[in-house]
A and B are shown apart, each in its own frame.
Chain A
């Protein structure tokens, strides 16, 4: 990257997709897999019934737009919260909410979906910090999504 390209999180890019890029198998209306509201991290209550013992998805805001099959591949059968580690204010509250998921709601797993841009690592670091401070341990998986919707990395982290 040279100095004119700027922050990878906000750099302008045109993917120049063609009609040929839209020849995937999905046809007809795709059903939403969202089973709760609200979803924004500031608005959610970590002790809401749908988080109890759940497999929770903590997703960076941009992920659902980049990832073509987000609902079917990742959201299905999970409870969710979304956040932007770059622009959201008051992220100390997020730390407490993640810890409450682990210790109080006794979630089963936590999956963090982030974009490949460096600022998204902030969400992963936040989740790790919360998990380290929690009394319980849960498996944490992270998924890194490319700006064109490709899965760049999908791995389990230390519980």
Chain B
């Protein structure tokens, strides 16, 4: 079979006419083609059949070529249209959307963190500081800085939608500042209130960005600008002294801890 995979289809059909009918069954009409130089392997690849259909097609061709061999023909599932799979966002916007995932995982944990808030013990205060560090370093410095220093500059920063995003970032920073001051005073009530306010703020902020702002921006950006943004985000990631892996490990650890607490 191996030698036929790299042969021109016309040659195969001439030798095994049944192959033409088999290909027709999968809407691959090579028979009438006057050229016929496409290799069998390329024909199978470029028609992008679903995996099960491709397996079935190849098994049927193999059986036509080697009828003496016992070749099992798998059953194919329902056919799906073959087309390239695209992204909902351009690559730089997709990067920002992907960065939201870790932030969303953190804010999902906030109610449990608040429930068990401990400002007295070293361990309790460490947990609060780690959470605040996640907000300041990952969400703000690593993520929001890409928006404020790069992305928003491509648009009219006086536009209402951009102003709202800036206001959300400013509000988030103010909440963090208050939390740090409250931790100094071991004021659990203020920390809890601010963590919950931050959760509410960021939940809505991320929803606005993922569903409204980024798709709108993608529609405005030229292909050239998308390339520029992608390169600039990449440069920030290489230069910045924030390690996303550190915060992913922190969230993993916290999720496990909370899962354990919940039994």
Q: Which of A28-36, A44-52, A92-100, A114-122 contacts B (4 or more CB under 8 A)?
A: A114-122
B227 touches which of A85, A108, A119, A144 (Cβ 8 Å): A108
Q: Are B47 and A118 in contact (CB under 8 A)?
A: yes
Tell me if A's interface is mostly helix, strand, loop or mixed. Answer: loop
Q: Decide if A151 is an interface residue (CB 8 Å cutoff).
A: no
> How extensive is the interface on chain A, given as a class?
35 or more
Q: Are A108 and B46 in contact (CB under 8 A)?
A: no
Q: Are B46 and A5 in contact (CB under 8 A)?
A: no
Q: Which residues of A contact B29 (CB under 8 A)?
A: 1, 3, 5-8, 11
Chain A residue nearest to B27 (CB atoms) is A1
Q: Which residues of B contact A19 (CB under 8 A)?
A: none
**How many angstroms between the C-alpha atoms of A109 and B83 in the bound complex?**
21
Q: Are B234 and A137 in contact (CB under 8 A)?
A: yes
Which residues of chain B from 26 to 43 have any CB-CB distance to chain A below 8 Å in the complex? 27-35, 37-38, 42
Q: Are B86 and A153 in contact (CB under 8 A)?
A: yes
Chain A residue nearest to B86 (CB atoms) is A155
Chain B positions within 8 Å of A, measured between CB atoms, are 20-21, 24, 27-35, 37-38, 42, 45-48, 82-87, 89-92, 94, 223-224, 226-228, 230-231, 234
21 contacts between A and B (CB under 8 A): A3-B24, A3-B31, A5-B32, A6-B29, A107-B227, A108-B228, A118-B46, A118-B82, A121-B47, A121-B48, A121-B84, A137-B230, A137-B234, A139-B90, A139-B223, A153-B84, A153-B86, A155-B87, A156-B89, A158-B94, A159-B230
